[in-house]
Amino acid sequence: MQDNETPGDTPRSGVATYVIEGVVAFAVLLLGIVVLQGSWKLGSRWTSDGPGSGYFPFYIGLILCIAGIGIFFQTVFGKNRNTEIFVDSEQLKRVLQVLVPAIVYVLVVQFVGLYVASAIYIAGFMILLGHYSPLKSILTAVIINVIFFLMFEVWFKVPLFKGSLDPLAFLGY
């Protein structure tokens, strides 16, 4: 990928936007093909008692394919294709700093439930990324989750996910 002249001092490096555009357009096309194939199997034509289950989705798949091809040609071969960097490494790092912990968080929720996982997540985020003292972070996280607990379980009576291990079972909710 070519480097772009950006106003900053350090040259930004990364994938050009039009490459990502092309990949996303291709994904749209693929989705279209999957929908087409799926609805074809369901019966996308006129059956004895009216339009089949796949009748409407078939056209949706068709639109997806057309749009995917259209975007691909517009963005990759078009006159003003966007050669700017999509994300530079610094930006990507920051995005992953949020995304990866979020994925781990959801994984942890699966086992220990929303409240405990949320407390660990908020405290961990504050300590590791915000550089707060552990005591302050844990206190904040616990307070926030106690508020959530009161709000959902006690006041509005909406039970949240307790996880397969259910560490909060002793509270009786």
Q: Is the separation of the CB atoms in 125 and 172 below 8 Å? A: no
Q: Tokens in use for 75?
A: 């963005």
Q: Is the separation of the CB atoms in 32 and 62 below 8 Å? A: yes
Q: Mapped to the 3 state alphabet, what secondary structure does 1-15 carry? A: CCCCCCCCCCCCCCC
The residue from 129, 139, 146, 169 that contacts other proteins (CB under 8 A) is 129
φ/ψ (deg, to 5) at 146: -65, -40
Nearer to other proteins, 129 or 171 (CB): 129
Q: Is 111 in the site for other proteins (CB under 8 A)?
A: no
Q: Is 13 in the site for other proteins (CB under 8 A)?
A: no
Select from 1-9, 13-21, 165-173 the region that touches other proteins (CB under 8 A). Answer: 13-21
Q: Is the separation of the CB atoms in 122 and 140 below 8 Å? A: yes
- The contact set with other proteins (CB under 8 A) reads 17, 20-21, 24-25, 28, 31-32, 35, 38-39, 42, 46, 50-57, 60-61, 63-64, 66-68, 70-71, 74-75, 86-87, 91, 94-95, 97-99, 101-103, 105-106, 109-110, 114, 118, 121-122, 125-126, 129-130, 132, 140, 144, 148, 152, 156-161
